[in-house]
Amino acid sequence: MEAEGKELRRGWTTGTCAAAAAKAACMALLGQDFPEMVEVTLPGGQKPSFSLALEEQGADYARAGIVKDAGDDPDVTHGALVIATLRRAPSGQGLIFRAGEGVGTVTRPGLPIAPGEPAINPVPRQMIAAAIADVAGEDCDFDVEISIPDGKALALQTLNPRLGIIGGLSVLGTTGIVIPFSCSAWIHSIWRGIDVARAEGLSHVAGSTGMTTEQAVQKHHGLPETALLDMGDFVGGMLKYLRKHPVPKVTVAGGVAKMTKLAQGMLDVHSKRGLADLDALAKVAVEAGADAELAANIAAANTVSQAFQLAQAQGLPLGEHIASLAWKTAARALNSADIALEVLVFDRQGKLVGEAPFAPSDQLLDPSQPERNRRT
């Protein structure tokens, strides 16, 4: 990947670091000493090597640590120390995974790991098991504790508390590799939020593009925290997963700029995917009743927010029409008689400026008649 002419470095997941640390600890525990470099095999067959930042051994344990390098990705765990502590387990027990300091424990259903288990995801568990088997062969009866000393504080910057992962971070990774600025991790966190909501039997979830809209939609509907999905720019990623894993009622909430982009057919509303078309917005304003002067001013506006301010100053319900058009785009992605869809548009202060009320998402609304769309 490149950004501004610079090639971005890839990094390693917490799962990869945990697997490498576990392999090094296993080597020491079985009398082979700690290696200078430890190699692990990733799910895709790559074989990176790591140097150890921590080596410690006692009478009945061995402990190794690796500093996570996330490459050029703005990962909150970049630079964190990932530690594996191994002890012998009774014969026939296999691997027993434990959450050490800074690794969370799952408390809610719907995640890949059952409640009560340490938040070490399935692929990292498989990687750790394979790394230990490289050293111990079939004699793989070990107590494996993974810890991340700063993990409890770092986890507050993640969605773990909302997902019911308490006490620290998750040990993650499906490929073992961190791709800089990848949308994959964010989309997967949205999916896990939907899984948790479904497991708790919630009938209504709300995806929001940012903190202001999330707070506004939570207040608007009185929703519990587990019903809130940090959708960000990935409207399509959320809706397509909901189509296969339905919840009866879905709200899409966003600010005026991102909902205008959704209204114009964009399911990924990041600024890098394109800007809102102000000329097209001016045409919508005309359909809403704007005169020629106002339409021209909207087309010439610096931002969508300014365009909405111009419309609001003349009492034009531009938000209602944008909400209806955005509903139409989102409905095409959901397209389910079993899912009622709502779109809410908020300004920067969290004030509701447009609404397309709940309606079955297989029934496309007529955006030119917002008052006819007020069905529940």
Q: Position 342: which residue type?
A: E
Cα distances (angstroms) measured from residue 301 to each of 103, 306, 307, 317, 322: 49, 6, 6, 17, 17
Kindly give the interhelix angle for 256-263 and 304-313, rounded to the nearest 10 degrees: 100
Picking from 225, 220, 232, 240, the residue whose alpha carbon sits closest to that of residue 342 is 220
Q: Tell me which residue has tokens 């140097």.
A: 51
Contact 219, 211 (CB under 8 A): no
CA distance 321 to 289: 11
CA distance 355 to 342: 8
Contact 116, 66 (CB under 8 A): no
Cα distances (angstroms) measured from residue 268 to each of 14, 85, 262, 371: 28, 42, 8, 28
- Residue 158 has what pLDDT? 87
**Is this model's pTM higher than 0.75 or not?**
no
CA distance 346 to 212: 8
Picking from 49, 10, 14, the residue whose alpha carbon sits closest to that of residue 134 is 49
Contact 65, 146 (CB under 8 A): no
CA distance 323 to 320: 5
CA distance 99 to 85: 10
CA distance 145 to 265: 48
- Residue 372 has what pLDDT? 36
CA distance 239 to 253: 13
**pLDDT tens track, the chain, 376 positions:** 444 445 667 889 999 999 999 999 999 999 999 999 999 999 989 999 999 999 999 999 999 999 999 877 767 888 999 999 999 999 999 999 999 999 999 999 888 899 999 999 999 999 999 999 999 998 899 999 999 999 999 999 888 998 899 999 999 988 888 765 556 777 888 999 999 999 999 999 999 988 889 999 999 999 999 999 989 888 999 999 999 999 999 999 999 888 998 998 888 776 555 557 888 889 888 988 889 999 999 998 888 888 888 998 989 999 999 999 999 999 999 999 999 999 999 998 899 999 999 999 987 644 444 433 433 3
> Exposed, middle or buried: residue 225 (CB in 10 Å: 0-12, 13-18, 19+)?
exposed
User: What CATH fold (topology level) applies to the domain 2-178?
Assistant: CbiD-like (3.30.2110)
Contact 126, 136 (CB under 8 A): no
- Nearest-10 Cα torsion for 132, 60, 68, 95: 40
Facing residues of 229 across strands?
207
- Provide the residue ranges of all domains of the chain, joining segments of one domain with +: 2-178, 184-373
CA 334: distance to chain centroid?
A: 19
3-state secondary structure of 254: strand
Contact 179, 12 (CB under 8 A): no
